[in-house]
Amino acid sequence: MGNLLLAAAAGFGTGLSLIVAIGAQNAFVLRQGIRRDGVLAVVAICALSDAVLIALGVAGVGAVVAAWPGAVTAVGLVGGAFLLCYGALAARRVFRPSAMQVDLGPGSPRRAVLTCLAMTWLNPHVYLDTVLLLGSVAAAKGDLRWAFGLGAVVASLCWFTALGFGARLLTGFFARPSSWRVLDGLVAATMVTFGVVLVSGA
């Protein structure tokens, strides 16, 4: 029992260290959380997607994916193009204040879900972190690999829940249009940077 808990704790720590890093997905979840726009759906999609990908990595799919680098390249190009487009939209909100959505009411759940799905499944970094990296570390745990994977899944669930629902604590700050301009500027910079990296690296 003690070994299982240690393996799960190691998975939790490793998973959290990878997920917390600033990225396109986290920036999107933060913005949705602040706007209170489809937060439950967005958090559920991110956490469930990570759970599926981590399970695939622990099951050994990472080694299979590594044998076909062309698949990763294709996803990189599509994902990079998507992030560049999303970054351009965020940048437009910065330079066109009248187009910014300061209203904290609910937006379009369908749009939030579709964007979140694209942000998650078209991002090669997600596959590298969950399927390949976590899968490789889990493999080294032998019979304890599933306990390690479970810890990583719990870390993902805790992080996205805290990020999505905790963002509402910043509602007062983001009641000002200028604050949205700053956030959208950071989102645009993050998306464009990752988009360029993905396209140039693919």
Tens-of-pLDDT digits for all 202 residues of the chain?
A: 778 888 888 889 888 877 876 677 888 898 888 888 889 999 999 999 999 999 988 887 656 665 666 766 776 677 678 778 878 887 887 777 544 444 555 567 788 899 899 888 887 778 877 887 787 778 777 788 899 999 999 999 999 999 999 988 877 776 677 777 787 787 788 778 877 876 787 6
Q: Quote the pLDDT of residue 102.
A: 45
CB 15 within 8 A of CB 153: yes
Q: Quote the pLDDT of residue 64.
A: 61
Residue 34 CB partners (closer than 8 Å, separation 6+): 104, 167, 168, 170, 171, 174, 183
Residue 51 CB partners (closer than 8 Å, separation 6+): 153, 156, 157
Q: Quote the pLDDT of residue 182.
A: 80
96 SS3 class: coil
Query: What's the number of domains the chain is made of?
Result: 1
DSSP 13: H
Could you tell me the residue range of the domain that residue 140 belongs to? 2-201
Q: Quote the pLDDT of residue 71.
A: 64
Residue where the block lists tokens 């489809």: 38
